[in-house]
Amino acid sequence: MKWAWLLLIPLVAWLLTGLVQVRPEERAVVRRFGEVVAHPGPGLWIGLPWGIDRVDRFALQSVRQLGVGYEPPPEIESTPSTPAGQLLTGDQNLINVKLVLDYALDPAR
């Protein structure tokens, strides 16, 4: 009977992984085996344990920034390869491209 507690404690801990808190400034998507099954709002979400359900939470009020492209190297160093964002066009012109994308998530479903 004493060994049963050794099995019960990890089982209870695994079952508690199904509890997830979604903050007021967040939204969540619940995926069960990869398929979207729910969009819980703020509050406590009680779902299936880890390995079955996956809850992805997203902050809505933060603005994210993604930068892609050319960063000129320091003049002292020489770069052996072409840096990211430096492209050769079809007419053999060398161009430098830089893109900064600001985005935020929309709560509309």
Sheet with 53-59, edge to edge strand ranges: 35-38, 26-32, 53-59
pLDDT of residue 76: 47
3-state secondary structure of 13: helix
Which pLDDT value is given to residue 22?
94
Contact 44, 21 (CB under 8 A): yes
Q: Percent of the chain scored above 90 by pLDDT?
A: 37
pLDDT by residue (tens digit) across 41-92? 899 999 999 999 999 998 888 888 887 775 655 654 555 566 666 777 888 8
Which residues are CB-contacts of 26 (< 8 A; sequence separation ≥ 6)? 42, 57, 58, 59, 60
The mean pLDDT of 85-108, rounded to a whole number, is 80
- The whole-model pTM stands at 0.58
- State the pLDDT at residue 84: 66
